[in-house]
């Protein structure tokens, strides 16, 4: 018998297994770009999914392979999105952030963003298998290897499987109190590069053109452009340039991060960026987009959210949702018009911070919710 009560009961029974599985995934440290480390964990994940009846495909990438797992046959599918890369370097686990499970809280690099979400999904599929419960629709899971830097190589795989999807569910971390994410700001990484003219900073000052001075003035100009718009966040992440204090800088660059809540504003600001002109004679300015996740406005009320709320009630959970500032792979789905929700990972805090942690009991909650949702027949719904 496969009732939601049985799903919840089985999720509770599987809690020790979930804790063990999460510890093993965190022990596989997987910084973005470390292909060997990422591929080791991808292989482990793929074996687990195959054991749950999935057809598994590794999608090669030089900086780490992506993974596609499919359950079910023909027909419109539910697309589930996750990633196995983290922001943490190899060694973080043994130096700054040891793995701790005190029974109530689990801490460690990647537990919240987002290996806990991978465990919750995997357990949901285990619940359905153990309860002999069929899927309401075919499921396709895409696990990308470079989400933390904007999914430059994984984006095509995500977009490929949007075709025919009735919904996209993201396994990222939820809002602080567990609310789902009904929309996300767009996120764009831009590299601003400036070339100046090197010369002696005292003896040949008039000949020199400082790339650093030009870069700083361009950054200030951009701040003014952003200030005139609504729903834009702007951060100067890194700056490099120059060679010596007695030489005017011949080159300088900055990596900039933008967050856009509105697609039109996003278009306007990015067009301005790509048309920058130098302030100084003989200086050259170039801006290029490194990665771009389009703005996904979403809606705090939607038919898809209503279906998840109904599934939550069946397992004793009150599901809520609201917009989020952070971007993720669900942006590609939402911006393309596929009904989407994110935040199905366990409750916690500290994404990208040394205090990263999850509430252990929420692994059970999320696994039961996902199992109930995927056992139902998610209906195609129009986006707003």
Q: Would you state the pLDDT for residue 306?
A: 96
* Spacing of C-alpha 117 from chain mean position: 11
Which DSSP helix (H) or strand (E) runs through 258? strand 251-260
pLDDT of 382 reads: 62
Give Cβ neighbours of residue 229 (< 8 Å, ≥ 6 apart).
265, 268, 269
What domains does the chain contain, in order, with CATH numbers?
4-185+295-375 (3.40.630.10), 186-293 (3.30.70.360)
Question: Residue 358 and residue 181: Cα distance in Å, rounded?
Answer: 17
**CB of 345 within 8 A of CB of 80?**
no
pLDDT on residue 2: 61
pLDDT of residue 1: 47
Tell me the three state secondary structure of residue 144. Answer: strand
Flag residues of the chain having pLDDT under 70. 1-2, 382-384
State the number of CA atoms in the 13 A half-sphere of 271 facing the CB.
6
Separation between Cα atoms, residue 242 and residue 382, nearest integer Å: 53
Q: What is the pLDDT of residues 171-182, one digit of tens each?
A: 999 999 999 999
């Amino acid at each position: 018998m496969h009732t939601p009560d049985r799903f919840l009961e089985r999720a509770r029974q599987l809690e020790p297994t979930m804790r063990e599985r999460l510890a093993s995934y965190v022990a596989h440290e997987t910084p973005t770009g470390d292909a060997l480390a990422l591929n080791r964990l991808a292989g482990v994940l793929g074996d687990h999914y195959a054991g749950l009846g999935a057809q598994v495909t590794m999608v090669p990438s030089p900086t780490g392979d992506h993974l596609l797992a499919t359950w079910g046959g023909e027909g419109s599918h539910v697309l589930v999105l996750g990633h196995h890369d983290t922001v943490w370097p190899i060694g973080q686990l043994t130096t700054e952030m040891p793995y701790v499970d005190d029974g109530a809280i689990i801490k460690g690099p990647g537990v919240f963003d987002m290996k806990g979400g991978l465990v919750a999904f995997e357990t949901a599929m285990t619940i359905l298998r153990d309860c002999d419960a069929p899927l309401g629709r075919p499921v396709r899971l895409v696990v990308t290897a470079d989400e933390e830097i904007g999914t430059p190589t994984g984006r095509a795989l995500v977009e490929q499987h949007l075709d025919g999807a009735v919904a996209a569910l993201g396994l990222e971390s939820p809002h602080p109190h567990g609310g789902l994410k009904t929309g996300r700001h767009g996120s764009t990484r831009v590299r601003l590069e400036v070339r100046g003219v090197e010369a002696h900073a005292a003896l040949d000052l008039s000949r020199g053109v400082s790339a650093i001075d030009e870069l700083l003035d361009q950054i200030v100009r951009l701040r003014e452009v952003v200030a005139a718009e609504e729903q834009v966040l702007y951060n100067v992440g890194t700056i490099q340039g120059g060679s010596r204090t007695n030489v005017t800088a011949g080159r300088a660059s900055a990596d900039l991060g933008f967050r856009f809540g509105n697609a039109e504003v996003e278009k306007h600001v990015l067009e301005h960026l790509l048309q920058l002109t130098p302030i100084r004679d003989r200086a050259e300015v170039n801006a290029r987009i490194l990665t771009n996740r389009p703005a996904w406005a979403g809606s705090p009320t939607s038919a898809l959210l209503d279906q998840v709320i109904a599934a939550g009630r069946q397992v004793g959970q009150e599901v809520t949702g609201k917009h989020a500032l952070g971007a993720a792979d669900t942006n590609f789905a939402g911006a393309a018009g596929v009904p989407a929700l994110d935040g199905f990972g366990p409750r916690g805090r500290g994404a990208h911070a040394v205090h990263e942690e999850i509430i252990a009991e929420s692994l059970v909650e999320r696994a039961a919710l996902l199992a109930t949702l995927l056992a139902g027949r998610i209906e195609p719904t129009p986006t707003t």
